[in-house]
Amino acid sequence: MARKILFVGYVPKNLEVKNSIGAKWERMLKKLDLVSLVKDKHIAIKMHLGGEFGFTTIHPFFTRGLVQAVIKAGAKEVFVTDTHEAVQSAVDRGYTRKVVGCPIVSIAGTGENFFYTKPIKPPFFKLKEVRMAGEIADAEALIDFSHVKVPVTFFL
């Protein structure tokens, strides 16, 4: 079944607020049927929070808009998640609980040791089991809020 792709163009027609990327983002979120997907569920929003000097992430402004829309749609609990290292340094890029509107947690817990080990039957070559990050595995739904990665070229 073909899925509908929603697109929001970044460049505004003019400087009216209704043409800003923020207003466009809000209108797009309203077009989604989030209630049927998230109501009364424990929701993980998986995204790349960057690291060190990385700044090509989705801006916390948009993350907050998504979090607010998911909460408004009736989610029982919402959290943003990434790897332990990325979560530890997320504040350096503006990702905080206060800014995004929900907890930011490591995919495998605060000690990086919250995993579920599941056997692979039949084994895939030599791989006989897989470890799944506990916070992700325990979520009832996952929103993959990722950004497109392209080669970055700098000219000096």
Give tens-digit pLDDT for 118-139.
999 999 999 999 999 999 999 9
Residue 107 forms part of a structural domain: yes
Structural domain harbouring 117: 34-144
pLDDT band at 66 (very low <50, low <70, confident <90, very high): very high
Residue 9 forms part of a structural domain: no
Residue 153 forms part of a structural domain: no
Out of 10-14, 25-29, 104-108, 113-117, pick the least confident. Answer: 10-14
pTM confidence score: 0.88
Report whether pLDDT(48) > 80: yes
pLDDT for 55 equals: 72
50, 57 in Cβ contact below 8 A? yes
Residue 71 forms part of a structural domain: yes
Average confidence score pLDDT of the chain: 92
Residue 3 forms part of a structural domain: no
Total domain count, the chain? 1
Report whether pLDDT(155) > 60: no
Report whether pLDDT(154) > 60: no
Nearest CA to 80 out of 146, 26, 18 is that of 146
Which carries the bigger pLDDT value, residue 154 or residue 70? 70
Residue 78 forms part of a structural domain: yes
Q: What 3 state SS string does the chain have? A: CCCCCCCCCCCCCCCCHHHCHHHHHHHHHHHCCHHHHHCCCEEEEECCCCCCCCCCCCCHHHHHHHHHHHHHCCCCEEEEEECHHHHHCHHHHCCCHHHHCCCEEECCCCCCCCEEEEEEEEEECCEEEEEEEHHHHHCCEEEECCCCCCCCCCCC
